[in-house]
Structure 1
Amino acid sequence: MNSIIALSLFGIANLFLGFLNNRKILLPATLAFVLVALGLNLADWNQEYLWFNNMLRTNNLSVNFASVILVATFLVVAVSRGFGDDEEHTHPAEYYAIMLFSVVGAIMMVTFENLIMLFVGLEILSVSMYILTGTDKRNLRSNEAALKYFLMGAFATGILLFGIALIYGATGSFNIHGIEALVLTAAGGSAPALLYIGIVMVIIGLLFKVSAAPFHFWTPDVYEGAPAIFTAFMSTVVKTAGFAALFRLLGGAFTGVYGTWIYILYFLTMLTLIIGNITAVYQQSFKRMLAYSSISHAGYLMLTATAKVAHTQSSILFYSLAYSVATISAFAVLMVVAETKESNAEKTNENFDIFNGLAKNNPLLAFVLTVSMLSLAGIPLTAGFWGKFFIFSDAFQRGIVVPLVVAVLMSAVGIYYYFKAIISAYFKEGDVPAIELKPIYKITLIVTTLLTIVLGIAPDLVKSIF
């Protein structure tokens, strides 16, 4: 809870820092703000509180999810180069402030005890992302992406809110523990139809936010149109917050009607895995490939969310951390290479061919890209391998056979399109010049790569904490 208050104040402080003539202070200040928030969040470990008239709950689960969100935010901010280069058209103070405000919404989504607070947190996060998506006002793709995201997001939010209203009408409570008790009681007899309809609508609203099929249509266009730094933020922080909220509802408030929604989610999990992986194979744009990759990873996380075994919580947390670190590394390499290529072209090229010959003059960038792709593909000795292993183990333990088989087959498909970037970097001729990286950028890339490797070699270092 203290981290929510701190981030709100820090966001306002960032806006005042924008009045200063020196833009260089904004990046280190924002990094410091995120670190302070992370420290305040970790200070709540092994303590449980209820806040705002029992509408928010702080416990170890919320601390873990919030920590993953804050670590991802720190890494994204650290690689946010170029905000201050164009003083006429960029406004870094506003960008950083909106990012901090969006993190407030994300943390509310992992600490909510009341469905109203889930809705408030979701809206804070969503509105912030609508704005950040359209920040490149001179780019028609960015404008189009923001409009699509806003319209479809508003529609999904309406479905979610109507579902909450139906659940309240059926149970008379917004509190998730109160709803859980009433759902268990109703499940023993004849639960009202309003309850089942409301639960399905709430699940649909959250599945839209995490890019699950068939609610994924906004994802490729929004990911491609938004500035790459905000796409990285969207694909990590938003997805983690969305699955945290979904997990809390499925494993808590809605557990009494498990048989009602489980088969729907089985089908949507398989559909998400198939659409995400098969469509990614045909992409020529590296950024669109990462968009469909994000859809496929939503399918893997849905697989363990439906398993509902003792290790589900730690599996989702570990997978979210592994996916976030690898994705941020991939977007960081894409941003720096695309900026270098852009100076010699009329428009930004984000296809796989921009990595052609990358290893020749930029071995560090090529290595970071390789490790991130290997992790996303689930290759051994990377964090992504253990993330998928834990998820598949949960599904096997629960006896989820058909979705598990689909997930394993789609993992094999994923190796193909992830390796396209590695092949471009090492085995194709290209003209990527030597790129000079700022110290903080280089350090961040090294940290994310080492973290991916360390978690791949010794996953229990983090898994035991979760």
Structure 2
Amino acid sequence: MDVIITISLLAILVLYLGLFKAAKALLPVTLVGLLVALGLTFNHWDLANNTKSIFSGMLLFNNFSVAFSALAIISTFLILMLSKDYFERISANVAEYYTIILFALTGIIIIASYHNLSMLFIGIEIMSVSLYILTGIKKRDYASNEAALKYFLMGAFSTGFLLFGITLLYGASGSFDLTEIRNYVASSEEISPIFYAGILLSIIGLCFKAGAAPFHFWTPDVYEGAPTLITAFMSTVVKTAVFAAFLRLFYISLSSVTLQEFWVPVLVVLASLSLLIGNITAVYQQHFKRMLAYSSISHVGYLLFALIALSSASDSAVFLYAAAYTIASIIAFAALMVVQKQVGNDSFDNFNGLGRKNPLLALTLTISMLSLAGIPLTAGFIGKFMMFTGALSTYHTALTVFAVLNAIVGVFYYLRVVVAMYFKDAERNELAVPVYFKIVLVVSTLATIIIGVYPGFIADLI
């Protein structure tokens, strides 16, 4: 609870700093506040993995929530390090950007810690409303306005599905508490049909938020129209939060064999569609940002593997994959921001010759692409390996083969930018990479390699 209060108060403090024109203090205060919140998060770590509930069991703090909350805070910290002078180019009201991002992070912490479905809904709404504003915060940019409107309409639609699903789960079990729902399933000789409908609608609502196919149609336009820094936040921290919510709901309440016979085939179909649509469509993209948007859909498909093969190891698999994807994506978006600032657009041709003029930027982006593609000795390979191992352990052989074939397709479009940087010549000037960008790039690259070589470094945390 102290983490949620700290981040909320930090958001209000930043807003007041903006009111009193302390523009230079906004970013340092935000980063220091996030470090304090990170320390408070780790303060809840328990080697015995005991749980501590508050508000009569509405929120539950254990190592699972600590790990995902810490990942969200660290990711937000790295993304905000890229924001120096970024928001100033968009608007004179910079404090509002940091404040809304912090409020979105507050909702994400609630999502990672909920033990009552009403708190899941509250957390998702806090996060979603903040993201609607952030997406359209470039008021004079028509693409940003269009993205915000699409995101708002689709987000409201998906929230309706989720809320209806939660209502049906409550109607059948008589409780919003995850443990009580599990007890209902265990004690019922015949589970109510509306309970199955509630599961299906909840899956649809959460898949909308994650951007899984066929509920992905808002993702490319929103990711492309939103400011790049906000796109980085949405494609990493938000996806991590949604899958933390997915995992907690299914592992605690819906893990019985009877229920798995119902929802596992649904998730298999969704995972297959996400892999197919995300990878095939990404091949035809000519712009780097839109390619990342479509590839994020395919990564949702891989993350669904941990739910399909639900076990005690699923939380570690999701956490490691989310960490690997998040770190690699932050590198990719940081490189994109540097290129966009000088060239003005994100066409693949604008990466031509980057390897000669900016060796550090090209090297870090190459490692990012290799990790996203799942090449060995990177964190992305370990993440995919854990997902495939889990699926094979539950005898989803056909799905695993299908995923491997799609991963090969992914190697093709990820390596396009590597080929452009090292094997295509272009008349270009050296890109100016700020010091704080270099810090984020180097730290994220080292983390990608360390996790790829020593996966137990974070895989054994939960």
The amino acid that maps onto 1:148 is K
User: 1:33-85 CA deviation, whole Å, 9 max, x = no partner?
Assistant: 11111110000001521112220000011101111111111111111133353
Task: Tell me the CA shift for residue 255 of structure 1.
Answer: 1.7
**1:250 corresponding residue in structure 2:** 250
**Distance in 2 of aligned mates of 1:381 and 1:392:** 17
The amino acid that maps onto 1:212 is A
User: 1:64-114 CA deviation, whole Å, 9 max, x = no partner?
Assistant: 111111111111111113335338x24221111111110110111111111
Q: How does 1:240-279 map to 2 (within 5 A)?
A: 240-256=240-256, 257-279=259-281
CA contact (8 A) 1:23 1:84 kept: no
Say whether residues 1:222 and 2:222 are aligned partners: yes
The amino acid that maps onto 1:204 is I
**1:86 corresponding residue in structure 2:** 89
**1:33 corresponding residue in structure 2:** 33
**Distance in 1 of aligned mates of 2:362 and 2:455:** 24
**1:198 corresponding residue in structure 2:** 198
The amino acid that maps onto 1:263 is P
**1:446 corresponding residue in structure 2:** 442
User: 1:354-378 CA deviation, whole Å, 9 max, x = no partner?
Assistant: 1111112111111111010000000
**Distance in 1 of aligned mates of 2:10 and 2:399:** 44
Quickly say closer, same or farther: Cα 1:161–1:320, change in 2 above 3 A. Answer: same
**Distance in 1 of aligned mates of 2:427 and 2:167:** 57
Say whether residues 1:396 and 2:392 are aligned partners: yes
**Distance in 1 of aligned mates of 2:174 and 2:334:** 47
The amino acid that maps onto 2:82 is V
**Distance in 1 of aligned mates of 2:205 and 2:435:** 41
Identity %: 50
**2:148 corresponding residue in structure 1:** 146
The amino acid that maps onto 1:69 is A
CA contact (8 A) 2:53 2:61 kept: yes
**1:110 corresponding residue in structure 2:** 112
User: 1:183-232 CA deviation, whole Å, 9 max, x = no partner?
Assistant: 2223xx22111111011101110011111111000000000000000000
**1:51 corresponding residue in structure 2:** 54
Task: Tell me the CA shift for residue 438 of structure 1.
Answer: 2.5
Q: Structure 1: any 5+ residue segments left out of the alignment? A: 343-348
**Distance in 2 of aligned mates of 1:91 and 1:370:** 35
CA contact (8 A) 2:88 2:94 kept: no
The amino acid that maps onto 2:293 is A
**Distance in 2 of aligned mates of 1:463 and 1:317:** 7
**Distance in 1 of aligned mates of 2:430 and 2:129:** 39
**Distance in 2 of aligned mates of 1:356 and 1:9:** 45
Q: Report the more deviating stretch, 370-379 or 390-399.
A: 390-399
Q: How does 1:8-27 map to 2 (within 5 A)?
A: 8-27=8-27
**Distance in 2 of aligned mates of 1:261 and 1:184:** 17
User: 1:150-185 CA deviation, whole Å, 9 max, x = no partner?
Assistant: 000000001110111111111110001100110222
CA contact (8 A) 1:83 1:92 kept: no
Give the SS at the match of 1:381: coil
**1:74 corresponding residue in structure 2:** 77
**2:167 corresponding residue in structure 1:** 165
The correspondence for 1:427, drawn from 399, 402, 423, is: 423
**Distance in 1 of aligned mates of 2:198 and 2:12:** 37
Quickly say closer, same or farther: Cα 1:432–1:325, change in 2 above 3 A. Answer: farther
CA contact (8 A) 2:279 2:409 kept: yes
**Distance in 2 of aligned mates of 1:113 and 1:461:** 28
The correspondence for 1:121, drawn from 115, 120, 123, is: 123
The amino acid that maps onto 2:367 is V
**2:369 corresponding residue in structure 1:** 373
Task: Tell me the CA shift for residue 395 of structure 1.
Answer: 1.0
**Distance in 1 of aligned mates of 2:278 and 2:201:** 23
**Distance in 1 of aligned mates of 2:93 and 2:351:** 29
Task: Tell me the CA shift for residue 407 of structure 1.
Answer: 0.9
Task: Tell me the CA shift for residue 410 of structure 1.
Answer: 0.6
Give the SS at the match of 1:57: strand
**Distance in 2 of aligned mates of 1:322 and 1:20:** 39
CA contact (8 A) 2:364 2:442 kept: yes
**Distance in 2 of aligned mates of 1:432 and 1:223:** 27
Say whether residues 1:335 and 2:331 are aligned partners: no
**Distance in 2 of aligned mates of 1:113 and 1:432:** 54
The correspondence for 1:415, drawn from 411, 417, 420, is: 411
Q: Structure 2: any 5+ residue segments left out of the alignment? A: none
Say whether residues 1:360 and 2:356 are aligned partners: yes
Quickly say closer, same or farther: Cα 1:370–1:109, change in 2 above 3 A. Answer: same
The amino acid that maps onto 1:332 is A
The amino acid that maps onto 1:34 is L
The number of equivalent residue pairs is 457
Q: Report the more deviating stretch, 11-20 or 222-231.
A: 11-20
Task: Tell me the CA shift for residue 29 of structure 1.
Answer: 1.3
Per the normalisation by structure 1, the TM-score is 0.96
Give the SS at the match of 1:246: helix
Give the SS at the match of 2:196: helix
Task: Tell me the CA shift for residue 455 of structure 1.
Answer: 1.1
Say whether residues 1:177 and 2:173 are aligned partners: no
CA contact (8 A) 1:83 1:91 kept: no
User: 1:247-280 CA deviation, whole Å, 9 max, x = no partner?
Assistant: 1111121123111111111111111111111111
Give the SS at the match of 1:255: coil
**2:328 corresponding residue in structure 1:** 326
**Distance in 2 of aligned mates of 1:411 and 1:366:** 23
The amino acid that maps onto 1:408 is V
**2:294 corresponding residue in structure 1:** 292
Give the SS at the match of 2:19: coil
Give the SS at the match of 2:89: coil
**Distance in 1 of aligned mates of 2:213 and 2:372:** 19
The correspondence for 2:138, drawn from 118, 136, 139, is: 136
Say whether residues 1:461 and 2:439 are aligned partners: no
**1:346 corresponding residue in structure 2:** none
Per the normalisation by structure 2, the TM-score is 0.97
CA RMSD of aligned residues (A): 1.2
